Amino acid sequence: MKAILALEDGTLFRGYSFTGRCETTGEVVFNTSMSGYQEILTDPSYCGQIVNMTYPLIGNYGVNNEDIESDRIQVKALIVKEYQEFPSNRRSQRSLADYLKASDIPGIEGIDTRALARHIRLQGAMKAALSTIDTDPDSLVEKAKHSADMAGRDLVGKVSCREPMLWRDGRATRLEQGLERFRWPDNPGSFRVAAIDFGVKLNILRSLDKRGCTILILPANVDSETINRLEPHGLFLSNGPGDPAPVTYAVECIRQQIGIRPIFGICLGHQLISLALGGKTFKLKFGHRGANQPVKDLATGKVEITSQNHGFCVDMESLKNQDIELSHINLNDNTVEGLVHKKLPLFSVQYHPEASPGPHDAKYLFDRFIDMMKTYHY
């Protein structure tokens, strides 16, 4: 079935749908990973976006029930060069096409995905319309132009949990008696971590759980008073989609929590910490998305290969607080990849140390969070 991808600047790409009739709009971005398409599809940070995979063959190992990062597909559509209809992998439980169809998410193949990625690199990420129904290019370009902008848009409410949940036995479970009567489970030696869910990836929770943490997952709109009443040992701020600037309720909560207990932020959590410290963020030309981003740890001089997925970045020049120190930089464009407070128990990174699949270079950051809680509480 023929499909057209129309960018807001009038550029057209033609291909074929491998999931049936469809039409959608969203910001089109590219990911350079060679594998991990199921994790990408279910990453809440991709909410509102059409993902273009630059690796040419996608679908060859199918999908399964384990390799997910949330409870549903989050992307608006998936674009690939060549779709592999017959997966071959012992863990495969169904095809990528069936997986997408079950959630009514378009899958398009036959597009020159590297040409599309190059266009985005040169012109910047932009809005797009994708359709097998409307085949009028002018009409689709207009639909792309009039679709929602990513900048200034709070998408956190679309992906955050609706109620507090406790991470138990590898999954999030509802609280039996509600947050008002919640009591932390009796786990001697375990650190109590309150994780604010801005679109948290499950592997982040798994990574904390492996290190013996008891994790209470809180909705994005939780207030500082509630966190204080819960008395966690540490506060974790998750990844998430969209522009951090309009998420003012979270910024205010974080501002009130700084200095009370150890805080660790990843991706959107990192950006929100920066806003809470008085800084600003800006939209990158085409973002960082892939499993091969080089990051330098300025304290050790070591270079980490990291997994990333973000379209906004912290403006280091806007952070006037002399106690805030740049800890990591991106070696491709020298943008901010990490911050640390010189006096208070607080640090954050822009990239994803929990990456799976992906490089494991940055997993030590979870251990750093554990050590920080140990130092602060004992």
pLDDT of res. 337: 98
Going from the C-alpha of 351 to that of each of 14, 101, 185, 197, the distances in angstroms are 33, 30, 31, 17
Specify the pTM: 0.96
CA distance 47 to 49: 6
pLDDT of res. 98: 98
Indicate left, alpha or beta for 44 from its phi (over 0: left) and psi (-120 to 50: alpha): alpha
Out of 8, 39, 304, 354, the active site residue is: 354
Going from the C-alpha of 317 to that of each of 136, 281, 292, 320, 377, the distances in angstroms are 45, 10, 26, 7, 33
CA distance 328 to 352: 13
| Domain assignments of the chain as residue spans, ordered by start | 2-145, 156-377
Residues 20-46 pLDDT 10s: 999 999 999 999 999 999 999 999 999
Would you call 352 a catalytic residue per the annotation? Answer: yes
Residues 50-61 pLDDT 10s: 999 999 999 999
pLDDT band with cut points at 50, 70 and 90 for residue 321:
confident
* H/E stretch holding 364: helix 364-377
Would you call 176 a catalytic residue per the annotation? Answer: no
Look up the CATH architecture of domain 156-377.
Answer: 3-Layer(aba) Sandwich (3.40)
Q: What is the maximum span of the chain, computed from C-alpha positions, in angstroms?
A: 66
Going from the C-alpha of 19 to that of each of 23, 25, 55, 176, the distances in angstroms are 11, 16, 19, 40
Rounded mean pLDDT, 70-76: 97
Answer for the pair 85, 97: CB distance below 8 angstroms, yes or no.
yes
Answer for the pair 328, 245: CB distance below 8 angstroms, yes or no.
no
pLDDT of res. 293: 95
Fold of 2-145: Glucose Oxidase; domain 1 (3.50.30)
Q: Which of 45-54, 77-86, 170-179, 327-336 has the lowest mean pLDDT?
A: 170-179
Out of 22, 47, 267, 313, the active site residue is: 267
pLDDT band with cut points at 50, 70 and 90 for residue 357:
confident
Percentage of the chain exceeding pLDDT 70: 100
Task: Inform me whether the pLDDT recorded for 378 exceeds 80.
Answer: no
Answer for the pair 354, 203: CB distance below 8 angstroms, yes or no.
yes
Residues 103-137 pLDDT 10s: 999 999 999 999 999 999 999 999 999 999 999 99
pLDDT band with cut points at 50, 70 and 90 for residue 345:
very high
Residues 6+ apart with CB under 8 A from 37: 53, 58, 59, 78, 96
Residues 243-277 pLDDT 10s: 999 999 999 999 999 999 999 999 999 999 999 99
Residues 141-193 pLDDT 10s: 999 999 999 999 999 999 999 999 999 989 999 998 889 899 999 888 899 99
pLDDT of res. 178: 85
Structure tokens at 143: 């639909």
Name which of 194, 205, 208, 239 is nearest 74 in CA terms.
239
CA distance 1 to 282: 39
Out of 119, 288, 328, 352, the active site residue is: 352
Burial class (CB in 10 A: 0-12, 13-18, 19+), 114: middle
CA distance 49 to 57: 20
Complete DSSP assignment for 42-85: T-GGGTTEEEEE-SSEESTT-B-SSS-SSSS---SEEE-SEE-S
- Chain centroid to CA 315: 19
Would you call 233 a catalytic residue per the annotation? Answer: no
Task: Inform me whether the pLDDT recorded for 377 exceeds 80.
Answer: no
Residues 194-244 pLDDT 10s: 999 999 999 999 999 999 999 999 999 999 999 999 999 999 999 999 999
Task: Inform me whether the pLDDT recorded for 320 exceeds 90.
Answer: no
Complete DSSP assignment for 288-354: EEEEEEEEEETTT--EEEEEEEEEEEEEGGG---TTEEEEEEETTT--EEEEEESSSSEEEESSBTT
Residues 294-306 pLDDT 10s: 999 999 999 999 9
